[in-house]
């Protein structure tokens, strides 16, 4: 009964905590795309997440009547995250020594309290909580990972092979949600072979294993089958076998496999492991349960202000706590289950840092590095041995950037005399040598931009396994703690440890009143005239619009075209199929087959669409568009709010800008709550309000605009 009470306590904590904070509608990033795809049984970005889309559609049919499709799909994350933490409780109490049951505090054995500690702090950890209250794949992925670990421990107890077969099935079924679910398999395999007395499976077991793996993978057939029906959202058109393979292999993200990419560093190790913006693992880890006062990725020496001193203190204290957890786990290293958990932590933290190889803005893309190295190796044959080898790409790019940043009159002197220009001098020497052989020097690839958003979600498994490790370390300490008074005080801390992350993270994770993404999408669509065309550029100015149109059936008359995707043939064909009233003259780039307009090759799709539909249809662009790029169609492309309208006169645009910002646009709760996309959206509204104040607003409009400007992001 003691375990059951704590299970119920975890369940209630999760239900209450997440009910208070879950998003009721769409959020920025992938949430809008997933909900839209689920509502129309479409196909989102690679690898397609077919199992998640099917689950999403089921939840929409089952619960969508309560508060719409977004609420229903968000519930998948809420439910799976709570179940995940219940499994963390079960895993922790299986691992901890049974002798801890001899110590009773508050009517519960110490072993159960330690399990509650691991589960409850996991519920309200920064990254896990953030993903638990929106439509994302990470909550349910973590549930499957913990199911795999739980089944492994059950196998260790019983040696029944059904648990191993269960692991194979759910891990490959989970691949239809996220590749995370395959992460534990190598370590589980090692664990089984290391602890089993009969490691070699029988032939019939292998047959069952293959069948279950195939059954789990069969959910991937959703992609080509559904794609062949041409749903409204059909990214990469996996109905074609080549496209299907590209989707599963994530070829969209580069020609190299992830394993190949990991071999070519895209960022300095110290940045990837440390506190570097958007990528640093240690910064994310230290921010999980008590947020750093200046942000997770802030680092540096003892500062002048009290806040900077507190930041430094926070970092040092939590670094020591990490070391203390490692030390506590080391004390129980003879327990193979403890070793498995520790290995899972290192695999999902240090291992993922190396594998993901995230960019810090200092190094080029890996496949370009590989290509360049191969080309330089061939060119080296035509360069005399007396000329040195080229330095690293990073060094060359640094020197080239510095050279062109210098005033023209200073360049020659620096190039000829500065030791720091040695790499540049070698490049010029190579160019002269290659010219004599009719060859041309290849410029080094430029550094890839830093990751565009916080990537802490990749390390969610590490934070959960660390919570289990913290409980294990506490168990090791309790075994050596002789003072009953101190033990009782420590046990009290275990029971209420969740209060600290709950209080610290509540404000930034309360999404219950966060309608910024939905309002933004409505405001953008309402900025476009009836049957207008809207050109978008990134995820956050596209996915919320897809959500509004495909999930809420809102302003479906607007033709939304993503410029980044418009270079792909499959996307061009999808746009022409979804919007058959778009005019497009048949040319060398387009042809008609069986009555359908199909992409032949090449061509600037956006320009062709504008040329054949403007000015008969209004053409609009998100703020990122450059008016000079479309000057051939019209010299005017003024802001009318969140979009630019091609060909509109300035006077009319100014009037519309004021009307949109002060009367037509909807603003619910303009609070960033620690979310970058929300903060960026608020800053856009503030920028537009400042601009509108220069357009001679009346007194009431001025008051509204000043209110927008004073909103703090």
Query: What pLDDT score was predicted for residue 49?
Result: 93
Query: What pLDDT score was predicted for residue 317?
Result: 81
Query: What pLDDT score was predicted for residue 594?
Result: 47
Is the backbone peptide bond immediately before 37 cis, with ω within 30 degrees of 0?
no
Q: Given 436, 471, 494, which residue is the final one in a domain?
A: 436
Nearest partner of 250 among 38, 5, 46, judged by Cα: 46
Residue 265 per-residue DSSP state: -
Range of the domain at 590: 516-709
Q: Given 255, 278, 297, which residue is the final one in a domain?
A: 255
Query: What pLDDT score was predicted for residue 485?
Result: 81
Nearest partner of 70 among 106, 39, 108, judged by Cα: 39
Same domain, 246 and 379: no
Count CB atoms within 10 A of the CB of residue 253. Answer: 11
302/309 Cα distance (integer angstroms): 6
Q: Given 436, 469, 486, which residue is the final one in a domain?
A: 436
Query: What pLDDT score was predicted for residue 592?
Result: 47
Query: What pLDDT score was predicted for residue 595?
Result: 45
266/449 Cα distance (integer angstroms): 10
The two structure tokens encoding residue 104:
């009773």
Query: What pLDDT score was predicted for residue 257?
Result: 61
Residue 442 within any structural domain of the chain:
no
For the chain, the residue count is 713
Helices (H) and strands (E) in the chain, counts: 32, 8
Nearest partner of 154 among 422, 340, 309, judged by Cα: 340
Residue 449 within any structural domain of the chain:
no
How many Cα atoms are found within 13 Å in the side-chain-facing hemisphere of 546?
33
Residue 239 within any structural domain of the chain:
yes
Q: Which alpha helices (DSSP H) does 527-649 contain, by range?
A: 543-550, 569-578, 605-613
Question: What is the SS3 assignment for 146-168?
Answer: HHHHHHHHHHHHHCCHHHHHHHH
Residue 469 within any structural domain of the chain:
no
Contacts of 389 (CB under 8 A, 6+ apart): 380, 426
Q: State the pTM of this model.
A: 0.90
Same domain, 423 and 549: no
671/661 Cα distance (integer angstroms): 17
Query: What pLDDT score was predicted for residue 373?
Result: 85
User: Which residue in the block uniquely carries the two structure tokens 């089984």?
Assistant: 192
288/125 Cα distance (integer angstroms): 5
Nearest partner of 617 among 579, 570, 563, judged by Cα: 579
Same domain, 525 and 404: no
Same domain, 528 and 431: no
Residue 336 within any structural domain of the chain:
no
Query: What pLDDT score was predicted for residue 413?
Result: 81
* Count of domains for the chain: 3
- Sign (positive or negative) of CA dihedral 519, 525, 530, 531: negative
- The ranges of the chain with pLDDT < 50 are 592, 594-595
Query: What pLDDT score was predicted for residue 198?
Result: 65
Residue 333 per-residue DSSP state: T
SS3 state at 244? helix
SS3 state at 279? coil
Same domain, 418 and 530: no
What Å distances lie between residue 619 and 561, 611, 653, CA to CA?
A: 11, 10, 14
608/353 Cα distance (integer angstroms): 43
Torsion of CA 434, 437, 439, 445, to 10 degrees: -20
Same domain, 571 and 671: yes
Same domain, 419 and 528: no
Same domain, 399 and 540: no
Count CB atoms within 10 A of the CB of residue 194. Answer: 11
Please answer whether residues 126 and 318 qualify as being in contact, where contact means their C-beta atoms are separated by less than 8 angstroms.
Answer: no
Same domain, 229 and 377: no
Residue 372 within any structural domain of the chain:
yes
How many Cα atoms are found within 13 Å in the side-chain-facing hemisphere of 272?
21
Same domain, 426 and 534: no
The two structure tokens encoding residue 701:
């409009």
How many Cα atoms are found within 13 Å in the side-chain-facing hemisphere of 694?
6
190/188 Cα distance (integer angstroms): 5
Residue 162 within any structural domain of the chain:
yes
Residue 236 within any structural domain of the chain:
yes
């Amino acid at each position: 009964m003691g375990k059951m009470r704590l299970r119920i306590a975890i369940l209630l904590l999760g239900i209450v905590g997440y009910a208070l904070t879950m998003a009721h509608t769409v959020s920025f990033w992938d949430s809008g795309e997933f909900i839209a795809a689920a509502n129309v049984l479409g196909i989102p970005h690679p690898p397609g997440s077919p199992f998640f889309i099917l689950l999403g559609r089921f939840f929409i049919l089952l619960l969508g009547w309560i508060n719409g499709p977004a609420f229903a799909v968000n519930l998948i994350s809420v439910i799976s995250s709570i179940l995940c933490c219940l499994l963390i409780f079960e895993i922790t109490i299986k691992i901890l020594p049974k002798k801890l049951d001899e110590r009773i505090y508050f009517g519960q054995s110490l072993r159960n309290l330690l399990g509650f500690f691991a589960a409850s702090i996991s519920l309200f950890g920064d990254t896990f909580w953030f993903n638990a209250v929106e439509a994302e794949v990470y909550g349910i992925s973590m549930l499957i990972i913990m199911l795999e670990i739980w089944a492994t421990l059950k196998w260790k107890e019983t040696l029944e092979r059904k648990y191993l077969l269960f692991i194979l099935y759910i891990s490959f079924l989970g691949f239809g949600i996220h590749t995370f679910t395959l992460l534990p398999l190598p370590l589980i395999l090692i664990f089984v072979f290391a602890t089993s007395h009969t490691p070699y499976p029988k032939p019939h077991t292998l047959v069952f294993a293959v069948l279950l793996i195939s059954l789990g993978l069969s959910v991937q057939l959703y992609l080509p089958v559904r794609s062949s029906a041409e749903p409204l959202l059909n990214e990469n058109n996996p109905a074609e076998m080549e496209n299907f393979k590209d989707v599963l292999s994530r070829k969209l993200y580069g020609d190299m496999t992830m394993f190949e990419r990991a071999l070519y560093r895209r960022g300095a190790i110290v940045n990837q492991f440390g506190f570097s913006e958007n990528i640093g693992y240690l910064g994310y880890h230290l921010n999980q349960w008590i947020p750093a006062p200046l942000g997770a990725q802030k680092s540096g020496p003892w500062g002048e202000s009290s806040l900077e001193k507190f930041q430094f203190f926070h970092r040092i204290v939590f670094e020591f706590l990490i070391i203390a957890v490692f030390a506590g786990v080391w004390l129980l290293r003879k327990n193979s289950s403890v070793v498995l958990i520790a290995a899972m932590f290192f695999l999902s933290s240090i291992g993922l840092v190396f594998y993901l190889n995230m960019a810090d803005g200092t190094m080029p893309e890996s496949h370009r590095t590989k290509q360049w190295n191969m080309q330089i190796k061939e060119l080296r044959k035509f360069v005399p041995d007396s000329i040195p080898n080229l330095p690293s790409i990073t060094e060359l790019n640094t020197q080239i950037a510095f050279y062109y940043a210098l005033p023209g009159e200073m360049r020659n002197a620096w190039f000829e005399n500065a030791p720091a220009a040695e790499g540049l001098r070698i490049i010029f020497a190579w160019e002269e040598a290659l010219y004599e052989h009719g060859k041309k020097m290849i410029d080094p690839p430029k550094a890839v931009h830093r990751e565009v958003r916080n990537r802490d979600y990749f390390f969610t498994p590490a934070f959960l396994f660390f919570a289990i490790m913290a409980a294990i370390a506490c168990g090791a300490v309790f075994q050596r703690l002789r003072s009953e008074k101190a033990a009782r005080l420590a046990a009290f801390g275990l029971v209420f440890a969740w209060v600290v992350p709950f209080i610290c993270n509540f404000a930034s994770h309360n999404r219950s009143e966060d309608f910024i993404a939905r309002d933004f999408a409505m405001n953008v669509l309402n900025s476009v005239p009836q049957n207008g065309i809207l050109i978008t550029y990134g995820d956050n100015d596209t996915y919320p619009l897809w959500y509004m149109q495909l999930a809420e059936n809102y302003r479906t008359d607007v033709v939304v075209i993503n410029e980044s995707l418009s270079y792909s043939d499959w996307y061009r064909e999808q746009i022409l199929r979804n919007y058959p009233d778009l005019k497009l003259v048949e040319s060398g780039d387009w042809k008609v087959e069986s009555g359908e307009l199909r992409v032949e090759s090449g061509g600037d799709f956006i320009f062709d669409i504008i040329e054949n539909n403007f000015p008969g249809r209004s053409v609009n662009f998100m703020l990122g568009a450059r008016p000079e790029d479309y000057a051939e169609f019209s010299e005017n492309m003024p802001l009318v709010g969140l979009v630019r309208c091609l060909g509109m006169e300035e006077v009319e645009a100014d009037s519309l800008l004021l009307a949109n910002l002060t009367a037509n646009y909807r603003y619910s709760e303009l609070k960033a709550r620690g979310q970058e996309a929300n903060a960026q959206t608020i800053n856009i509204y503030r920028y537009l309000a400042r601009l509108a104040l220069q357009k001679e607003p009346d007194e009431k409009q001025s008051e509204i605009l000043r209110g927008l400007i004073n909103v703090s992001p």
